[in-house]
Structure 1
Amino acid sequence: MTVLLLDDRWPSMIPLEAYGRLAGPVAYTDEVPVNVRWNFGDLVRPDGPGVLVSTNERDPRVVERVDAGDDVIAAPSRKDPVRDALHAMTRARSMGEWEASQTHESLLPYLTEETGEFAQAVGEWGETGDEAQLCRELGDVLLQVFFHAELASRRGAFDFSDVAGSFVAKLRSRAPYLFDGSTGMVSEQEQERLWREGKARERRIEEAGGRHAAP
């Protein structure tokens, strides 16, 4: 049997390595979306040892097949550190008593602390050039972003992808040269003009919709 491990963020993206290597009856672990199952008919040859499709490497059926030495094909995006961080944060919120008790408000002192430690690391980096320390402290700041996004995701408000999307949307509005195919250096004066215009445009839209303006 072949075990095909897909990325739970994009389960419809089947790795190229799988094409031509899947044969036999197809089984799925419970979390694989129905729309993904519908699309497997044309990818699997009818005769063969079988295929187990999953997004969860901890599923008992997957573990059993991997322990038995079956061939494993995994989506390369499963190795993405951002995916690992998101999964770790979700598990921490579910399994850690301290994490489960936290709120946006209770986490604020930690955000302040980690931001201060990163600022201190930047100051020390100017003298020592310690890149590893700078990376570690910035990772601690990022942990706070993951944590707040996980809290919001649990109540169905937004998730980390939405946070990243809001960042991109702001840049599209205030720095359009990053997306319109422009080349060359943009002057600081032009950047400031576009930023002001984008911010003012966002404020008008948000005020018309009864929302607070973005900072």
Structure 2
Amino acid sequence: MTVLLLDDRWPSLIPLEAYGRLGGRLEFTDEVPVTVRWNIDRLVAAEGPGVLVSTDDLDPRVRARVDAGEEVIVAESRRDPVRVAVRAMERACSIGEWEASQTHRSLLPYLAEEAQEFADQVVVWEGDGDDQALLKELGDVLLQVLFHAEIASRRAAFDFGDVAGSFVDKLRSRSPYLFDGTTRVVAVEEQERLWALGKSRE
């Protein structure tokens, strides 16, 4: 049997390498949306070893088939480092006792500490140019953003995607030249004017 692992964010996007390689009886793990189930059979030939379609690589049926060495076709977007980071934080808050006990307030000292460590590393970096050390400290700051977003997600307030969307919305309002096709260099004075204008509208 072939395992087809789709991205839960975009389950209807079938990897190109799956075309012409799927055949036989279709099976789905429970979380696969109905719209995918209704439409994927158009891609599956009548003959073949069968196909298990899933978005959950931890599902026991998926694990058993992967462990047995069966063919796996994976949506490339599942390897996106941002997706992997969000999923890791989600898992940490689900199975880590310490992580599950944290709140926005309890994490404030860590956020301040990580931001300061990044700032300190920037000063050091200006002297030694150690990009890997800078990257590591910036990753620690990102961890804090992921953690706060996951806490909010668990109360259905917002998630990491919403945080990213908030950032984009602010840029659309305050730096419209990033989205309107502008190709010339935008002068600092114009940037400041547009930033202030956007901020006043908000």
**How much does 1:194 deviate?**
0.5
1:53 partner SS: strand
**How much does 1:131 deviate?**
0.7
- Give 1:182's aligned residue: 182
State the Cα deviation string for residues 153-194 of structure 1 (Å, max 9, x = none).
000011000000010111111111111111110000000010
Cα distance in 1, alignment partners of residues 44 and 170 from structure 2: 43
- Give 1:26's aligned residue: 26
Cα distance in 1, alignment partners of residues 150 and 39 from structure 2: 31
Cα distance in 1, alignment partners of residues 199 and 170 from structure 2: 9
Cα distance in 1, alignment partners of residues 155 and 35 from structure 2: 25
- Give 1:100's aligned residue: 100
Q: How does 1:155-194 map to 2 (within 5 A)?
A: 155-194=155-194
Of structures 1 and 2, the one with the larger relative CO (CA 8 A, separation 6+) is 2
Cα distance in 1, alignment partners of residues 167 and 39 from structure 2: 33
Cα distance in 2, alignment partners of residues 104 and 69 from structure 1: 43
Cα distance in 2, alignment partners of residues 149 and 40 from structure 1: 33
Q: More deviation in 108-117 or 62-71?
A: 62-71
Cα distance in 2, alignment partners of residues 159 and 36 from structure 1: 24
**How much does 1:44 deviate?**
0.9
Q: More deviation in 57-66 or 122-131?
A: 57-66
Cα distance in 2, alignment partners of residues 110 and 134 from structure 1: 18
User: Number of matched residues?
Assistant: 202
Cα distance in 1, alignment partners of residues 91 and 58 from structure 2: 13
Cα distance in 2, alignment partners of residues 83 and 76 from structure 1: 11
Cα distance in 1, alignment partners of residues 41 and 60 from structure 2: 25
Cα distance in 2, alignment partners of residues 70 and 100 from structure 1: 35
Cα distance in 2, alignment partners of residues 189 and 14 from structure 1: 46
TM-score between both structures, scaled by the size of structure 2 = 0.97
State the Cα deviation string for residues 94-116 of structure 1 (Å, max 9, x = none).
11111111111111111000000
For structure 2, the 5+ residue unaligned runs are: none
For structure 1, the 5+ residue unaligned runs are: 203-215
Cα distance in 2, alignment partners of residues 187 and 161 from structure 1: 31
2:52 partner SS: strand
**How much does 1:46 deviate?**
1.6
Cα distance in 2, alignment partners of residues 139 and 198 from structure 1: 30
- Give 2:196's aligned residue: 196
Cα distance in 2, alignment partners of residues 65 and 102 from structure 1: 36
Cα distance in 1, alignment partners of residues 105 and 67 from structure 2: 44
Runs of 4+ in 1 over 6 A off after TM superposition: none
How well do the aligned residues superpose, as a CA RMSD in angstroms?
0.9
Instruction: Letter of the 2:168 partner, please give it.
Output: V
Q: More deviation in 56-65 or 82-91?
A: 56-65
1:40 partner SS: helix
Tell me, yes or no, if structure 1 residue 74 matches structure 2 residue 74: yes
Tell me, yes or no, if structure 1 residue 38 matches structure 2 residue 26: no
State the Cα deviation string for residues 50-95 of structure 1 (Å, max 9, x = none).
1000111121111221222211100011111111111110111011
Cα distance in 2, alignment partners of residues 74 and 16 from structure 1: 10
- Give 2:90's aligned residue: 90
